[in-house]
Structure 1
Amino acid sequence: MSASCYHCGSPVPAGAPWTITLEGEPQPLCCPGCEAVAHAIVGSGLAHYYRYRTELAPRPEESRARAQTWQAFDHPELQARFVHAADNGASATLAIENITCAACAWLIEHHLNALEGITESAVNLSEHRLRVSWDPSILAPSNIFAELAAIGYQALPFEPDQAHQREKREDRLRVRRLIVAAVGMMQVVMFSIPLYIAGPDELGAGFSALFHWLSLALTTPVVLFSAWPFFRQAAHALAHRRLNMDVPVALAIGAAYLASAYAVVAGRGDVYFDSIAMFTFFLLVSRHLEARTRRRGGNALGSHLPASALRLDADGIERVVPASLLEPGDRLLVQPGTTVPADAVIEQGESSLDESMLTGEFLPVTRRVGERVIGGSQNMENALVVRVTHAGKQATIAHILDLTDRAFAHRPRLARLAEAMVQRFVLRLLLVTLAVATAWAFIDPSRAFWITLSVLVVTCPCALALAAPTALAAGHGALGRRGVLITRADAIEALAGVTRVVFDKTGTLTRGEMRLADTRPMGSMDAARARQIAAAIEAHSEHPIARAFGPFRRAGFKAQAVVREPGQGLHATLEGATWRLGRARFAAGHEIAPPGPGQWLLLSQEYTPRAWFRLEDTLRDDALEAVAALDALGVGVELLSGDEPETVKALAEALGIDTWQARATPEAKLARIQALQAEGERVLMVGDGINDVPVLAGADVALAVNGATDLAQTRADALLLSPRLVRVGEALETAGATRRVMRQNMAWSVAYNGLALPLAALGLVPPWLAALGMSLSSLVVVGNALRLGRRRRMAPPVSSLRQTVNA
C-alpha cells in the first residue's frame, strides 16, 4: 500500500524522492510542487501549520510558484485597478483560493508578515479574502503573489463589479433602515397599547407622559434615519418641479412627527408615533421587496466575467493578465471550476460548460476542439486551451448587455401610463387633502389635522407607482431564466398580445446545420469540380446553405463579383465564365424538374445546367413540442419558407402545421405578414438570418433564435438565447402573465384609493389604520408581481422528436 503525501494526502509514487523532515522524522511527499511548498512553510519557521490544520491542503501546481507567472501584476495599468494608496504605503484586497481551514489563514498571515516590506496582512476566512498592506519601495505586488503561491495558495485581485458592489452597499443600508424601523415600531406600539386600552385617565398623567416621551425618543431615529430616503427623494422631485409618490409620504411623516412632538412638549394634543413608525416600516418593507424583485429581474451578466485570465505565452508560460487587455488571437488556459473570460474557440481539451447565465438551460453542454465557448460560461470538468475570438465590447455578453440597456432605456406603454397616473394622482391628492382640511376646519377643528393626515397617508399612491415596475422587473427576470432576452421596451406587451406565430424554416425550426447529401453532375462536369465551384461561390454567403459547401473549398480558388439575389441564389464570375447557384429557374433561366424529392440546388454555367446538389438539414429536437405548446395556448402557427413545396409540406405535416407557404421570397414573406395584420392578427415572427430581416422588421414583434445573425438580432425585439424552441411558447405565456399582473396591480391600486379616500375624508379611518392600509396595498402589489418568478415552466405536451428532413 502506497504512502500518502504529508502535505496534500495524494498517493506517493513508488520510489518517490521527495520528502520533508519534521521533528527529526522524514515525511513522504508526492511531487515537486508539494516539496517546494512544504519546504517553504518549514523554512519560514511555520511548521506548526501541520499541527494545527484540520484539513489537508490541495495539491499545488509547480508552475504557480514561478515569479514570472505573477509579473503581470506589476503592470501599472493593472495595479491601478486593485492597488490603493494607504497611510503606510499601498494596500490591496486579494481573493485567495485553496483556503480550507483556520490553519490556512494562520499560515498566510504569518508567512506574509515575516516578509520585509509587508506592514499588515489579515485573512477573512469566511469570504476567502486577504487584505494586505506593503511598502512599494521594498516589495512589488508580484512578490506577494509569488510568496502566496510558494506556500500553496493562488491569489487574484478581488475586483467585484462596481455596480454590484454599490448595489450590495445600498442593500445593506436598506436593511439597516428596515431594522431600525422595525425595532422602533415594535417598541412604540408596545407603549401605545396601554394608552389605547386603558386610556390616559386610568394610567395617570405621569405614565402617559413617560410613554409619550419614550415614543418620541424611539420614533426620532425612525424618522431621521429610516425615513430619510423619502424626504430626500421628495425634495429632489420638488426641486425639479415634479410630483412623485414620495411627496405625500414625506408630508405625512414629517407633519405627523412634528405635530406629535409638539403635543408631547406642550403637554396637550394627540400623538401618533405608532402610526408614523408603522407607516415607515411597512413602506420600507414594500420598497425592500421591490428592490429584491428588481435585482432578481435585472441582468447580472456583467458579473459573470472574471477580472483576469491565464494567458499562454509563445513558450507556453502562464501569465495572469487583466481580462480587459485580452485581444483576439490570445491563447488562454481555462482551468476546471473557472469562468471563460472571453468568447473563444477550443484548441485543446474537451469539457462540459455551464452556460445557464445566457441560455437558462441548467444542464451543462459538452464542448470539443474547434467548438465555440462563450465568455461568462463556467468550465465544469477538464482544463481547456482556447483562442480568443471576441473580447471586451465585442464579446457576446457585452453585446447582450447593450441590448438589455436598450430595452430598459425606455418604458413600455403600461409603465408610462402608470407613471403619468402617479403624477396626476399626487397633484389631485394634494388638492383633495387641502379641501378636506378646509372642510374639517369648519366642521371640527380639533379633528381637522389628523383626518387630513389620514387622507394623505391612506391614499398615498405607492401601490400605483409600484404596480408596473415590479411586474416588469419580475417578468424580465422570469423570461431571462428561460433564456429569452427582451431588447425593446414594448416587447413584453407585444408578446402578450400575439395571436399568430410565423416560423421561418432553415435555422429556426431546423438546426440550420446543412450538409451536402448528394451531387448529380451533368454533361462533362466532374462531381468534385462541381463541389469546388459551388464552394467558391458560397464562400461569400452567410446563409446556412453555405456551410454545407465549406469542406469542399480549395485554397486559392476564389469567385469574383459575387452577387446574392435574395430568395433565389448567387451568381459570380469564375475563370472567365458566369456561374449561377440556386433555384432551378434562377440558375437555368427556366423551370427544370429536380432529379428527385428534397431540396435541390442547381449549378449552371452561362445558364447551362452543370450539376444538382441535394441538401439535408436536421429538425430541432423540440420543434414538435414547440408547435404543440403554441397550439395549446390557442395561438395560430404558420410556416414560411423559401424552400421547395415538397420539402416544406413534409416538414409542416411532421409538425402539425396546417398553414404553410413554400418558395417564399423575403418580399412574399413580408406581404404575408402584412396580410395577416390586415386581418387583425398580432404576429410574432421567429427567424434567424439576413433573409428574415425585412419580415422581422414588419412583424408586430420579432424574435431572433439562438445563433441568429448579428443583423437579425439588432432588428429583433427579443432574442432566444436558449437552444430550445419550446421557450417561444413559454415566452408568450410569461409575457401574458406579466401584462395581467400589471393590469391587476393598477386596477387594485385605483380601486383601493377609490374606496379608502371617502372613508378617510369622513373621519372613519384613524392614522394608524391609514398607515396599515396603505402599506398592505403596496405589499399586495409587490407580492402579486413576485408570483411571476414562481411560475412553473410549461410541461412538454409531447415527447421529443428527432428526425432528419430534406430541407
Structure 2
Amino acid sequence: MTESRLTANMTECLYCKVPFAAAAAVEFCCNACEALYKLENTDDKGINTGRFERSLEKYLSLAEIKSNELSFYAEGLHCSSCVHLLERLHEFDPHIQQAIVHFGESTVHVKILPEGSWPHVAAIIEELGYTPTALSTREKLLEQQKKENRQSLRRIAVAGACAGNIMLFIVPVYAGLVGTWAAVFNWLSFLLFLPILLYSAQPFYQGAWNFLKYRVINVDLPIVIAMLTGFTLSTYHLIRGEGAIYYDSTASFLFLILSSRYLLKRVQQKYLSGDYLLQHLQLRKELKTGEKINLRQGERIPADGVLVSTRAEIDMSLFSGESLSQYFQEGMKIFAGSTLLSSHAVMQVEATGLHTRLGQLLQQLKSESVQKSHFVSLTDKMAQGLIATVSLTSLLFFIAYSFVDFNEALERSLALMVIACPCALAFGTPLAYGLSLRKAHKQGLLVKNPDVFEKIHTVKNIFFDKTGTLTEGHLRLASQDGNVERQDQRVILSLQAVSSHPVAFAFRHAWKDVDSLPKMESREEILGEGVVGKFHGVEYSLKRSKELNILDYIAVEYRVDGRLKAHFFFEDPLRADTRETLQNLTNYDLHILSGDKKDRVLKAALLCGIDDKRCHAELSPEQKLQHIKASKNTCMIGDGANDALALKAADIGIAVKGSVDLSLSSADIYFTRGGLKPFVEFLNISRQARRTVRRNLAISLTYNAVGGVLALGGFINPMVAAILMPISSVLIVVSSLRGTR
C-alpha cells in the first residue's frame, strides 16, 4: 500500500505513536496503550471496581499458594504495549514488588510482598484485559502449551477429514455429474463444511474480532471474509440450483492454513522459547536453605552457599570470564553455575533455584532477550502493510472484474487473499534472530537484545579496556626475591585465607599443593595496602612495595616482625589470542581506554599493533565515558564493573570480565569465556543473521509479488493458492535453520 493510501485510513496511537486503522474518536491502537496512557497521565488507573470484585472471587483458590513468586500464563498478550503494561503491575498494587514478562511464552512472573495476595494479582491481570492461569511449575506451562497444541491438532484433523471427503464428493461433479446425484453430493459437501465453519475456523474468528476491537491489522479478517464469502455464495448457488460451488477450495485452503500456523507455532515453541538459557542451571529443587551437601568433581554447583570444606578448586569462568580456576577456602561464598574441579567438597546451601545469583540473572536475560528489535518491528509493519494492500487490491479487483465475469472475479480475488503470506514476512525475521540468539548463548555469548545483531554492522570505533580484556585479567606469581620456606608459604596462605584479592588468588594458585594452614591469632586487611596478622606472637605482613616500581609487574613485600624477608612480583600477561584477534579487525578503528599506568598501556598497545595516539591511560570511569561520547558508531569492550558507564554509553557494550549480573545490567552482551575470540564469533553470528534475514525477506517478497500477479491473472485458483501458502512458510523455516546452523 502506498503512503498516501495508508495515511487516508490510519491514525497515530496517542501512546505508542504507531499508525493504526482507526474508527471515529478512537485514539489508541489497543487496550494496553490506553491503560498505559491513563496510568502515566491521569489519576484513573482504569480499574472497574465491580468487575474487579467479580474477578477476585474467581481466583480465591490462589490464596493457598504460600510462595512469594508465581508465574501466570497471560492469554491475550499480543504486543509490546501489553508487555510494558504487565511489567507495571506494581503501580496497581503496592504489594507487588516486580513483574517480568516473557513475550514469546505469554507469561508474566510476579513477585509480591508477604502481605500481598495472589487472587488480587490475578484479578488485576484480568481487569487489564488478559486471562491469567497460574503456573506453579514449569511443567504447568508445558502442560498449557500441550493443551493448546492438542486443540489445534483437533481443529486440523476435523478440517482435514471434512475437506478430504468434500473433495471425494465434488470430483464427480467436476467430471460432469448432473441431476439429483449432483445435488445430493453438493448438499453433502455443505453439511461437511459446517464443522469447519463452526469449529475449525474459531481461531480466525477470534483474530478477526481482535482486528475490529483493537484496530490492529492481522491476516485473520481477510481469511474470515474469504471463507464466509465462499460459503455464502456456494450456499446461495446451491439453493438456487445453479452457479459455482466453492466448498472444496474453501475447506482445503482453511485446512492448509491451519496446518501452516501449527507448524510455525511449533517452530516458535522450540526455537524462540528461551528455555535453553535455563539449562545452565542444573538445580536440585529438593535442596533447602541451611542444608549441607556433598559435591563431586566435575559437578556443577546447584545452589548458592558457603564452602564448608577446608579448600576447593572451582571454575568460576561463568561469573568472572577467567579461564584459570580459582582456589576457595573455608567460609568463602560459592555460586550456582560454577563447576567443582577438586575431587570433592562440602557446601552449606543459602539460596536455590531462581533465588540464586545465576537464576535471577537468567530470568532477567530470558525476559530481555525476547523483546522485539527495531528491525523485527519494521517487518511487522511491512506484514501489516502487505495485508492492507492485498485486502484493498482484492476488493477493488473484485468490484472492477465482476462486471466482466462475476465467478472469475470471485475466484481470482479469493486466490489473491489466500496466497498472500504475511506470516512468512513477519515470522522470518524474529525466527532468524531467535536462532542467532540461541546459537550465541550456546557458545557462551549472553545477548540481551537482538538489536545488537543489526547495530554491530554500523560500528566503526572499537574501544578496549586493557586489564582483563586485552590481558588475562588475573595476576600470576612471576618471580620472587628472597628465601621463602614452606612455613612461610603456609603463613602467607593463612593471611590470605578468605581474601578475594587478585594477589590472594595468585598465591593460592602458585602454591596449590600447600596444606595444613596455621590459624592466625589476629588478622587485619588494610584497604589499598595489604594484610597484617599474628601467629605465635610474631607479626607477619604482606603489603604492596612502595620502593620497587617495575614496568608490567606488581611488587609485594613480605615482612616478619617488620623485617623484610622477600619480594613477590606479579604480572597480568597479554591473552594468548589478543594479537591474532586484533590483527583481523582491520575494518575498525581500535582504541584503548585504561585506568592503568601509561607505560603499561603503551606496551600493551605496541604488542597489539594499536596506534599510540588512540591509547589513553590513567582514566577514571567518567573520563572513559567522555571518550565514548566524543565518538560515533562505538563498541566498548571491557569490565562490567569498572567500565559500566562507558559500556552503557556505547552503541554496543560488551562485558568480558567481572560480575556477570553487574555486567549485564550495563552491557548488551556478556562473554562467559575469556579472551577476544568470542567477539569474532559474535561478528560471524551477526553476519549470518543479516544474510539470513535478507534472504528471508527476499523469499517472502518475491513469493508474494509473483503469487499475487499469477492469482490476479487467473493462473492460480484458490485451491492451488492454499497449497502454495504453507510452502512459503516452510521455505522461511528451512532458510532460517540453514542460515544459522
Quickly name the TM-score band, shorter chain normalised: 0.5 to 0.7
SS of structure 2 residue aligned to 1:696:
helix
Give 1:716 deviation, angstroms. 0.5
TM-score (norm. length: structure 1): 0.59
Q: Assess if the C-alpha contact under 8 Å between 1:352 and 1:367 holds in 2.
A: yes
Contact 1:463 1:777 in 2 (8 A): yes
Q: Match for residue 440 of structure 1?
A: 401
Cα deviation code 1:349-382 (max 9, x no counterpart): 99999999x89x9x9x999987987546899998
1:168 to 2:146 alignment: yes
2:357 to 395, 418, 422: 395
Tell me how far apart the structure 1 counterparts of residues 410 and 340 of structure 2 sit (CA, whole Å): 65
Aligned positions of 1:185-204 closer than 5 A: 185=163, 188-189=166-167, 199-201=174-176, 203-204=177-178
Distance 1:262 1:730, change over 3 A: farther
Residue 475 of structure 1: CA displacement? 2.1
User: Which residue number in structure 1 is paired with residue 94 of structure 2?
Assistant: none
Partner of 1:32: none
Cα distance change of structure 1 residues 477 and 162 upon mapping to structure 2, 3 Å threshold: same
**How many angstroms apart in 1 are the aligned matches of 2:222 and 2:683?**
38
Larger radius of gyration: 1
Residue by residue over 1:663-692, the C-alpha shift from the partner in whole angstroms, topping out at 9 and shown as x without a partner, is: 241355445444552xxxx33222224221
1:616 to 562, 571, 574: 571
Counterpart amino acid of 1:616?
E
Equivalent residue number for residue 765 of structure 1: 716
Partner of 2:105: none
Q: Distance in 2 between matches of 1:269 and 1:443?
A: 16
* CA deviation map 1:41-79 (0-9, x unaligned): xxxxxxxxxxxxxxxxxxxxxxxxxxxxxxxxxxx9799
SS at match of 2:637: strand
TM normalised by structure 2 equals: 0.63
Task: Find the residue that maps to 2:243 and give its secondary structure.
Answer: coil
Q: Could you tell me which of 416, 419, 422 is aligned with 1:455? A: 416
2:692 paired residue number: 741
**1:753 aligns to what?**
704
Spell out, residue by residue over 1:372-417, the C-alpha distance to the aligned partner (whole angstroms, 9 max, x if none): 8754689999876333354343430221211331333x42111121
| Residue matched to 2:434 | 473
Write the letter of the residue equivalent to 1:299: G
Q: After the TM superposition, which residues 369-384 of structure 1 pair with which residues of structure 2 at under 5 Å, given as runs?
A: 375=336
Letter in 1 for 2:648: A
- The residue type paired with residue 487 of structure 1 is K
Deviations along 1:493-542, one digit per CA (max 9) or x if unpaired, are 22344445433232234442224546789xxxxx99xx99x989x97xx8
Q: Is the 8 A contact 1:184 1:222 kept in 2?
A: yes
Q: Distance in 1 between matches of 2:605 and 2:245?
A: 74
Given that 2:315 and 2:326 are in contact with CA atoms closer than 8 Å, whether structure 1 keeps it comes out as no
SS of the equivalent of 2:402 reads helix
Q: Tell me, what secondary structure is at the counterpart of 2:473?
A: coil
Structure-2 residue corresponding to 1:405:
367
Change (3 A) 1:209 1:691: same
Structure 2 equivalent of residue 238 of structure 1: 212
- Counterpart-to-counterpart distance in 1, 2:337 and 2:681: 25
2:335 & 2:647 partners in 1: Cα distance? 26
User: Structure 1's 669 and 352: CA in aligned 2 closer, same or farther, altered over 3 A?
Assistant: closer
Does structure 1 residue 686 correspond to structure 2 residue 637? yes
Contact persistence 2:384–2:422 (CA under 8 A):
no
SS of corresponding position for 2:242 = coil
Where does residue 495 of structure 1 map in the other structure? 456
2:32 counterpart residue number: none
Q: Secondary structure at the match of 1:691?
A: coil
Letter in 2 for 1:617: D
Structure 1 equivalent of residue 292 of structure 2:
331
Distance (Å, rounded) in 1 between the aligned partners of 2:626 and 2:611: 19
Question: Contact (CA 8 Å) 1:543, 1:689: kept in 2 or not?
Answer: no
Which residue matches 2:728? 777
Match of 2:223 among 249, 254, 273: 249
Query: C-alpha distance in 2, partners of 1:354/1:556?
Result: 30
Q: Distance in 2 between matches of 1:427 and 1:272?
A: 24
> Which residue type is aligned with residue 273 of structure 2?
G
Which residue of 2 is the match for residue 229 of structure 1? 203
Q: For residue 737 of structure 2, what is the aligned residue in structure 1?
A: 786
Distance 1:520 1:182, change over 3 A: farther
Aligned residue identity for 1:703: I
- Please give the alpha-carbon distance, in whole angstroms, between the structure 2 residues aligned to 1:347 and 1:387: 7
Post-superposition offset of 1:418: 1.9
Instruction: Name the structure 2 match of 1:642.
Output: 595
1:161 counterpart SS class: helix
> Structure 1 residues 735, 258: closer, same or farther in 2, change over 3 A?
farther
- The CA distance in 2 between the partners of 1:186 and 1:381, in whole Å, is 64
User: In structure 2, what is the equivalent of residue 59 of structure 1?
Assistant: none
The answer on whether the counterparts of 1:688 and 1:709 sit within 8 Å (CA) in structure 2 is: no
CA drift at 1:717 = 0.8
Q: Is 2:272 the partner of 1:297?
A: yes
CA shift in 2, pair 1:695/1:749, >3 Å: same
Report the CA distance shift for 1:557/1:169 in structure 2 as closer, same or farther (over 3 A).
same
Work out the CA distance in 1 between the residues paired with 2:266 and 2:340: 29
State the identity as a percent: 29
Q: Which amino acid aligns with 2:141?
A: A
Q: Contact 1:231–1:250 (CA<8 Å) still a contact in 2?
A: yes
Question: For 1:260 and 1:459, how far apart are their aligned partners in 2?
Answer: 23
> What's the C-alpha RMSD, in Å, of the aligned pairs?
5.1
- Provide closer, same or farther for how the CA distance between residues 456 and 478 of structure 1 changes in structure 2, counting only shifts above 3 A: same
Number of aligned residue pairs = 574
Answering whether residue 691 of structure 2 is matched by residue 717 of structure 1, we say no
> Structure 1 stretches of 5 or more lacking a match?
1-75, 82-157, 310-321, 522-526, 563-569, 576-580, 604-609, 791-807
Flag structure 2 segments of 5+ consecutive residues without an equivalent.
1-63, 70-135, 483-487, 510-516, 534-542, 558-563
Rounded Cα–Cα distance in structure 1 between residues aligned with 2:326 and 2:411: 67
Partner Cα distance (1:161, 1:349) in 2: 39
Sort the Cα spacing of 1:388 and 1:671 in 2 relative to 1 into closer, same or farther, 3 A: same
Distance (Å, rounded) in 1 between the aligned partners of 2:529 and 2:327: 36
- The one-letter code of the counterpart of 1:169 is K
Which deviations, in whole Å up to 9, do the C-alpha atoms of 1:176-231 show, x marking residues without a partner?
44455555555555555565xxx342x44456445545544555444544443222
Range 704-713 or range 731-740, more displaced: 704-713
What per-residue deviation string (whole Å, max 9, x for no partner) do you get for residues 109-128 of structure 1? xxxxxxxxxxxxxxxxxxxx
- Structure 1 counterpart of 2:365, one-letter code: L
Q: Structure 1 counterpart of 2:617, which letter? A: R
Change (3 A) 1:762 1:707: same
SS state of the match for residue 571, structure 2? Answer: strand
Do the aligned partners of residues 713 and 465 (structure 1) sit closer, same or farther apart at CA in structure 2, a change above 3 Å counting? closer
Q: Does structure 2 retain, via aligned residues, the 8 Å contact 1:745–1:781?
A: yes
- Residues 337, 723 of structure 1: CA spacing in aligned structure 2 closer, same or farther, 3 A cutoff? closer
CA distance in 2, matches of 1:353, 1:543: 16
Q: Is the 8 A contact 1:687 1:708 kept in 2?
A: no
Letter of the aligned partner of 1:615 in structure 2? F
CA contact (8 A) 1:248 1:460 kept: no
Q: What is the alpha-carbon distance in structure 2 between the residues aligned to residue 739 and residue 543 of structure 1?
A: 43
Amino acid at match of 1:641: S
User: 3-state DSSP class of the match of 2:403?
Assistant: helix
Give the conservation status (yes or no) of the 8 Å contact 1:641–1:662.
yes
State the Cα distance separating 1:602 from its structure 2 match.
9.1
Alignment of 1:637-676 (within 5 A): 637-644=590-597, 647-648=600-601, 651-652=604-605, 661=615, 663-665=617-619, 666-674=621-629, 676=631
Residue pair 1:407, 1:489 contacting (<8 A) in 2 also: yes
Rounded to whole Å, the distance in 1 between the matches of 2:257 and 2:523 is 72
| Aligned-partner Cα distance in 2 for 1:388–1:782 | 44
Look up the match of 1:96.
none
Q: Matches of residues 331-370 of structure 1 in structure 2 within 5 Å? A: 331-333=292-294, 341-344=302-305, 347=308
